[in-house]
Chains A and B, each alone.
Chain A
């Protein structure tokens, strides 16, 4: 069973606790939303789960193997991460950048084959970047660069997807488009996703599970319908929240 889990994980940044004794199991078919106010440590936690930084205590397990002991290439075949910021400094084409997702699957002198090209083309189409193949990445808008980064992640074909604010810079149409793609990958293809989100309503619409970070190492996790309530969100964001019943379920608005 594909899963990313952690046991009694302590993560901190600059002496400030992000989570204490965190136990999570992110399994195939689950779409986790990570909620918390600005600066609470969502990115740091994601980096720790991706093995980019070490926790203070506890361990992260990828398919029952300690993340520390796995070589990066083995990790990259199973786990992919969309970073919070997408900055393309060096000139390259959109197609070539999408193809970088194939990197962990190819050997040293190996080149991308026709099937890799097809995968990249399909991913570009899925994020509405069809026709951009030969454009330079340095000329892309913020939203286009974001969608390209997501396309690269899809091309990587990792079973576990960590996403740091995937809808950054995106208009509503493309927010929905990306989240629908995520939902398709999780529900239809049995991947697992763990996304830091700021939009509570996107979380309510798409996530099956929620992890909330309250600061001082306190956290709470569980199924989305149990976790997302007016009271918990008011506690989380320290502001008034109003809940509204819609035809798609309960949604949340900033209170007066």
Chain B
């Protein structure tokens, strides 16, 4: 499809809103700040409020944006991969592996700085397990991948419950926050930005192939797609994005499920528009959710996963209802 002016405009608006959301997130929080104070503080990063903005709020908002963007993109990919609108980035066990490794680390008293690496290692192990078991030699089987992934995820869930049940009370709180998704201690290492950038470029290169794949595997083959290879590439891309996001913020729910759906309703299912739209909106959505998580019960902070679910569930049900009415 040739992108229409309205699609370009929408992407531009989403980009502007994303930037605006970062500024907004830097201005509001448990320490109130007027706009004038904010403006002065932005210019003076050495001041107390400047430090608050530049060292605490903005890095956290940036982390939120990248996590949201990665999860939304991964959700788009998973939904095509499994040809199932209910697929989300976590359905194949990537976050389960990360959660198990992180919680084990917490239980054993690993230093906080190492936890993201444990999460990453755990999810990579899970990806390799599912990839290895589901690969086989026969033709591509989405069902086999789905079942292998879902069962692996259940295995992780059992191990997570085991850790939770033997952990001392004082570490349970941070474990639960991690499981719900929390950006309080989120750091955004440079390599995660690189992961998003590379994945985005690759996915955009595959976007037309994804459109064809959504029409069915046979159709895609007849139109020249080596579907088996394509499906594995999509699986690995989605998994690496999820693993990276989870290593930053824990398993934040619902972003990867509802953002692709919302954007599909808005721009249709051409992935050349859908992918950038979902990526931008996913970032925007998580920055706004995290800002709410910081402020709604301030000074107490909520895990952002609670907010995304609280916003996500009604929004999703509303959409589903609307879709039934209009037959989308």
Contact B224 A104 (CB under 8 A): yes
A106 with B208: CB separation less than 8 A: yes
Interfacial residues of chain A within 73-93, with CB under 8 A of chain B in the complex: 73-77, 80-81, 83, 87-93
Could you say which of A72, A89, A95 has the most chain B C-beta atoms within 10 Å of its C-beta?
Answer: A72
> Which one of B205, B221, B226, B227 contacts A108 once the chains associate, using CB atoms below 8 Å?
B205
Interchain nearest-CB distance for B325 vs A (Å): 15
Query: Which A residues are in CB contact (< 8 Å) with B327?
Result: 138
Q: In the bound complex, what is the Cα–Cα distance between A80 and B218 (angstroms)?
A: 12
Which residues on B sit within 8 Å (CB–CB) of A104?
223-224
B204 within 8 A of A: yes
**Identity of the chain B residue whose Cβ is nearest the Cβ of A92 in the assembled complex:** B269
Quick check: B223 and A156 within 8 Å, CB to CB? yes
Residue of A nearest to B202 (CB): A108
Pick the interface stretch among B31-39, B61-69, B209-217.
B209-217
Of A52, A75, A89, A96, the residue contacting B1 (CB under 8 A) is A96
When the two chains form their complex, are residues B218 and A72 in contact, meaning their CB atoms are under 8 A apart?
Answer: no
Q: Mark out the residues of chain A between 86 and 118 whose CB falls within 8 Å of any chain B CB in the assembled complex.
A: 87-93, 95-96, 99-101, 103-104, 106, 108-109, 111-112, 117
A101→B223 contact, CB < 8 A: yes
Q: Are A117 and B224 in contact (CB under 8 A)?
A: no
A127 within 8 A of B: no
Cα separation A74 to B3 with both chains bound (whole Å): 27
Encode contact with A along B210-249: 1 for CB under 8 Å, 0 otherwise. Answer: 0110111011011111110000000000000000000000
B272 touches A (CB below 8 Å): yes
Q: Is the CB of B226 within 8 A of A71?
A: yes
Which of these, B221, B222, B270, contacts A92 with CB under 8 Å?
A: B270
> How near does chain A come to B87, taking the closest CB pair, in angstroms?
14
Instruction: Determine which of A52, A106, A112 lies in contact with B222 in the assembled complex, contact meaning CB atoms within 8 Å.
Output: A52
Query: In the complex, what residues of A have CB within 8 A of residue B225's CB?
Result: 72-73, 103
User: In the bound complex, how far is the Cα of B223 from the Cα of A117, in angstroms?
Assistant: 17
Bitwise, A233-251 to B at CB < 8 A (1) or not (0) is: 0000000000000000000
CB neighbours (8 Å) of A197 from chain B are none
Per the bound structure, the CA–CA distance linking A117 and B209 in Å amounts to 18
A111 and B2 in contact (CB under 8 A), knowing A90-B214, A91-B268?
Answer: yes
**Interface size of B as a range:** 20 to 34
Point out the residue from B205, B219, B270 that lies within 8 Å of A96, measured CB to CB: B270
Interface pair A112/B1, CB less than 8 Å apart:
yes
Q: What residues of A have a CB within 8 angstroms of the CB of B211 in the complex? A: 92, 96, 100
Chain B residues near A87 (CB, 8 Å)?
216
Q: Are B221 and A103 in contact (CB under 8 A)?
A: no
Whether B19 is near chain A, meaning CB under 8 Å from some CB there, is: no
Rounded to whole angstroms, the CA-CA distance of A72 and B228 in the bound complex is 11
Contacts of A191-238 to chain B: CB distance below 8 A: none
Contacts of A91 in B (CB 8 A): 264, 268-269, 328
- Check: B206 CB closer than 8 A to any chain A CB: yes
* Total contacts A-B at CB 8 Å: 74
A63, chain B: closest CB distance, angstroms = 16
Q: Which residues of B contact A156 (CB under 8 A)?
A: 223
CB distance from A223 to the nearest CB of B (A): 29
A50 contacts chain B at the CB level, 8 A cutoff: yes
**A83 and B219 contact, CB distance less than 8 A:** yes
How far, in Å, is A9 (CB) from chain B's closest CB?
Answer: 20
Contact with A along B131-170 (1 / 0, CB 8 A): 0000000000000000000000000000000000000000
Bound-complex Cα distance A103 to B209 (A): 8
Find out whether the CB atom of A50 lies under 8 angstroms from the CB atom of B212: no
Question: Which single residue of chain A is at the shortest CB-CB distance from B230?
Answer: A72
- Known contacts being A91-B328, A111-B272, is A75 close to B224, with CB within 8 Å? yes
Asked if A52 contacts B223 (CB within 8 A), the reply is no
Query: In the docked arrangement, what's the CA distance between A117 and B2, Å?
Result: 9
Q: Which residues of B175-209 have CB atoms within 8 Å of chain A's CB atoms?
A: 204-206, 208-209
| Separation of A89 and B79 alpha carbons in the complex (Å) | 13
Contact A109/B205 with A52-B221, A75-B224 known, Cβ cut-off 8 Å: yes
Interface residues of B in 288-328 (CB under 8 A from A): 327-328
What are 17 sample pairs from A and B whose C-beta atoms fall under 8 A apart? A52-B221, A71-B226, A76-B222, A76-B224, A83-B222, A88-B215, A89-B216, A90-B214, A90-B215, A92-B211, A96-B211, A103-B223, A104-B224, A108-B205, A111-B3, A111-B272, A112-B1
Interface residues of B (CB under 8 A from A): 1-3, 204-206, 208-209, 211-212, 214-216, 218-219, 221-227, 264, 268-270, 272, 327-328
A interface vs B, CB < 8 Å? 50, 52, 71-77, 80-81, 83, 87-93, 95-96, 99-101, 103-104, 106, 108-109, 111-112, 117, 138, 156
Q: A52-B222, A89-B216, A100-B211 are in contact. List 6 more A-B contacts (CB 8 A).
A: A72-B221, A74-B224, A88-B215, A92-B270, A100-B223, A103-B223
- Nearest 5 A/B pairs, CB to CB: A76-B224, A104-B224, A73-B224, A108-B205, A103-B223
